[in-house]
Amino acid sequence: MAARRISSLLSRSLPLISSDGKKSYFGRRIYRYSTAAALEDPIKPPVTVEYDKLLINGRFVDAASGKTFKTLDPRTGEVIAHVAEGDAEDINRAVAAAREAFDVGPWPKMTAYERSKIMFRFADLVEKHNDEIAALESWDNGKPYEQSANIEIPKVVRIFRYYAGWADKIHGLTIPADGPHHVQTLHEPIGVAGQIVPWNFPLLLFAWKVGPALACGNTIVLKTAEQTPLSALLVSKLFHEAGLPPGVLNVVSGFGPTVGAALCSHMNVDKVAFTGSTETGKVIVELAAKSNLKPVTLELGGKSPFIVCEDADVDKAVELAHSALFFNQGQCCCAGSRTYVHEKVYDEFVEKAKARAMKRTVGDPFKSGTEQGPQIDAVQFKKILRYIRSGTESGANLEAGGDKLGTKGYYIQPTVFSNVKDDMLIAKEEIFGPVQSILKFKDLDEVIRRANNTQYGLAAGVFTQNLDTANTLMRALRAGTVWINCYDVFDAAIPFGGYKMSGNGREKGEYGLKNYLQVKAIVTTLKNPAWL
Q: Residue 446 contacts by C-beta under 8 Å, 6 or more apart in sequence? A: none
Sheet of 181-189: strand order equals: 174-175, 181-189, 517-525
DSSP string, 162-231: HHHHHGGG----EE--SSSEEEEEEEEE-SEEEEE--SSSHHHHHHHHHHHHHHTT-EEEEEPPTT--HH
Q: Kindly report the backbone phi and psi dihedral angles of residue 61, in degrees, each rounded to the nearest multiple of 5, phi listed first.
A: -135, 155
Q: Residue 182 contacts by C-beta under 8 Å, 6 or more apart in sequence? A: 174, 523, 524, 525, 526
The CA-to-CA distance between both ends of the chain, in Å, stands at: 50
Q: What is the dihedral angle through the alpha carbons of 4, 5, 6, 7, rounded to the nearest 10 degrees?
A: -110
| Three-class secondary structure assignment of 304-346 | CEEEECCCCCHHHHHHHHHHHHHHHHHCCCCCCCEEEEECCCH
By C-alpha distance, which of 61, 160, 57 is closest to 117?
160
Residue-wise over 181-191: b if at least 16 C-beta within 10 A, else e?
A: eeeeeebbbbb
Q: In sequence order, what are the beta bridge partners of 307?
A: 340, 462
How far, in Å, are 8, 109, 142, 168 from residue 114 at the CA level? 37, 10, 37, 9
CB atoms within 10 A of CB 179: 11
| SS3 (DSSP) at 461 | strand
Q: How do the residues of the chain divide into helix, strand and coil, expressed in percent and rounded to 5?
A: 40, 20, 40
Q: Active site residue: 132, 137, 299, 399, which one? A: 299
Q: What is the DSSP letter of 291?
A: T
Residue-wise over 221-230: b if at least 16 C-beta within 10 A, else e?
A: bbbbbbbbbb
CB atoms within 10 A of CB 94: 33
Which ranges of 367-496 would DSSP assign to H, the alpha helix? 378-393, 425-428, 444-452, 467-476
**Residue 12 burial (10 A CB sphere; 0-12, 13-18, 19+):** buried
Give yes or no: 429 in active site: no
| SS3 (DSSP) at 87 | coil
Q: Residue 209 contacts by C-beta under 8 Å, 6 or more apart in sequence? A: 193, 195, 197, 222, 273, 275, 507
Q: What is the DSSP letter of 507?
A: B
Catalytic residues: 299
